[in-house]
Structure 1
Amino acid sequence: MEKFRSAEVSDAKILLDLTQRAYRPIRELGITFDTAYADLDFVKKNIKDNLCFILESEEGEVLGTISLRMPWGDHPGPFGVPHIWWFAVDPLVGGSGVGSKLLKWCEESVVRDLLKSPAVSLGTADNHPWLVQMYEQRGYRILSRRDSGKGYGIVSMKKELL
């Protein structure tokens, strides 16, 4: 049975490796998200400063990670609700439903049920070939667009949960 849990600083090296592999296509598209270029200190900061979760296999292998920035934190999302900002799935299990399972768990079990938030937000690059459409299919609505100043736009999306 797969298991969801909070990340600990001791997980940082594993999460760095997973993130570097998962975000390789993002880097190849020229998208310069901070997570795509994370180093070990940045991963540790994410674990300490945000709600960072891991989905593990029955064998204890890390399959994916997702993090939430809080509206009251140092780097809130744009809409005053928890903001998904670090979402990575091991490319070796991509396409198997792991990402959908992790996202749904975060939206429902953490944001809706634990935090009692009526919505969640996220942002992605407008030039990614499939992410915007995937999030729209999962119920996210585009509420704003802005220029990143780096050659692509940022789409800010929100999903109502209650």
Structure 2
Amino acid sequence: MGEIYRLAELKDAERLLDITYRAYETIRELGLHWPAATADLELIKDNVATNECYVLEIEGIVEATITLSRGEEIKALTELPFVKWFAVNPDARGRRYGGKLLDWVEENVILGKLGASAVTLATAEKHPWLVPMYERRGYERILELDPQNGDGTMYLMRKKLIDQPTTIQRG
């Protein structure tokens, strides 16, 4: 079977809840108010149903997930595609499943399907390794904001996928 990249289905919700809850342990310890960190099964199902939630399945088992937001809440910050709810099975650390899934979504969905030349995400300054990890992957900080909810400084980060003006196909 190998590696399969696909849209999540509602039947994946329990596995996604397990992965996300365990992967977001540091987020909860830091007291960050990220919905994915405290999601229940209904919120996971809602995410799968209302957004484009992608998974990387290895030998028939979902090991990583990432969501391309369709929500209007991000439109106040950016018109670029926005990824969120990125989680990798903590038992699979070091296998690059997260990097492979993020690469696949950037290349095949954001650039290939949407025709967008850049992608955005948001993360917290106080997280010990997320900002440097995304910077190593080519993301740059483009906006600092404080949501006034105790999370402190958040960064909107952008990665240019190709060097040309950003376009988004509508339709």
TM range (shorter): over 0.9
Map of 1:45 onto structure 2:
46
Counterpart mapping for 1:121-132 below 5 A: 121-132=120-131
Map of 1:66 onto structure 2:
66
Map of 1:54 onto structure 2:
55
Conservation of the 8 A alpha-carbon contact between 1:55 and 1:102: yes
TM-score normalized with structure 1 length: 0.93
Matched, 1:31 2:29: no
Aligned length: 159
Matched, 1:156 2:163: no
CA deviation digits over 1:36-83, x for unaligned, max 9?
A: 01011111111111110110112x11101000013xx43335220110
Q: SS at 1:159's partner residue?
A: strand
CA deviation digits over 1:80-135, x for unaligned, max 9?
A: 01100110000000222111111111111110011111110000011001111111
Matched residues in 1 for 2:54 and 2:138: separation?
22
Matched residues in 1 for 2:54 and 2:132: separation?
24
Q: Identity over aligned residues, as a percent?
A: 45
TM-score normalized with structure 2 length: 0.89
Matched residues in 2 for 1:76 and 1:25: separation?
24
Q: Which runs of 4+ in 1 moved over 6 A?
A: none
Structure 1, unpaired ranges of 5+: none
Matched residues in 1 for 2:146 and 2:92: separation?
32
Matched, 1:15 2:4: no
Matched residues in 2 for 1:124 and 1:95: separation?
21
Q: What's the RMSD between the two structures over aligned residues?
A: 1.2
Structure 2, unpaired ranges of 5+: 163-171
User: 1:150 Cα deviation (Å)?
Assistant: 2.8
Matched residues in 2 for 1:136 and 1:84: separation?
15
